[in-house]
Amino acid sequence: MNLVLFGPPGCGKGTQAKRLVEQRGWVQLSTGDMLRAARSAGTELGKRVAAVMDSGNLVSDAIVIELIEERLPEAEKAGGAIFDGFPRTVAQAEALDKALAARGAQVDKVIRLVVDKVELVRRMAKRAEEEGRADDTVEAFKVRLEAYETQTAPLIPYYTASGKVVDVDGMGSIEAVSAAIAAALDD
């Protein structure tokens, strides 16, 4: 099973992906985590990634796709991948489709977590306070939310055309959202 978790920043993609890893044993392919790891490594790539992330902008497709492709064999062995924060553009979705097709696989389902903007801002503020992430400033969050609305939201028609999108209300408790995702996956 290759699952894309989709939704705006702060909607709970990472939290729900971690739950799916625990429940189903799949591999979480979180581009955010991969990029933060590259940033922490302090390499030349990490420094470039840090500058882009701190401004709230999206890292180039080439870098993100390379990181994803490196992890696909691990996901195959685990029986599934949870794409968390990827793809973010139609070009990335097409690149993912191509990479999976080369391995005889495809995106099986897209779960879109639906959360209103007021709640997204509340969650971002809480996460910034609790985790102290450098990319969770109000300014960076606004840039990321706008990038989602202009660059990422157009992916919905891309995946809807193939009948793979399931909307899940992301406003409930972590447990309620997790149960709704499980029901959608088992349908």
Q: Is the peptide bond before 154 cis (omega within 30 degrees of 0)?
A: no
Instruction: Based on the residue annotation, tell me whether 24 is a catalytic residue of this protein.
Output: no
Query: In angstroms, rounded to a whole number, what is the distance separating the alpha carbons of residues 146 and 148?
Result: 5
Determine which one of 88, 109, 112, 123 is catalytic. 88
Report in angstroms the alpha-carbon separations of 125 from 39, 56, 66.
Answer: 22, 15, 31
The single residue of 18, 24, 71, 133 carrying the catalytic annotation is 133
Out of 24, 48, 127, 142, which one is annotated catalytic? 127
103 has catalytic annotation? no
Q: Which of 13, 19, 112, 123 is catalytic?
A: 13
Which tokens sit at 24?
Answer: 């189903």
Q: Cα–Cα distance between 183 and 51 in angstroms, integer?
A: 40
Give phi and psi for 28, each to the nearest 5.
-85, 120
Whether 144 is catalytic is yes
Residue 127 known to be catalytic: yes
Q: Which residues are catalytic?
A: 13, 88, 127, 133, 144
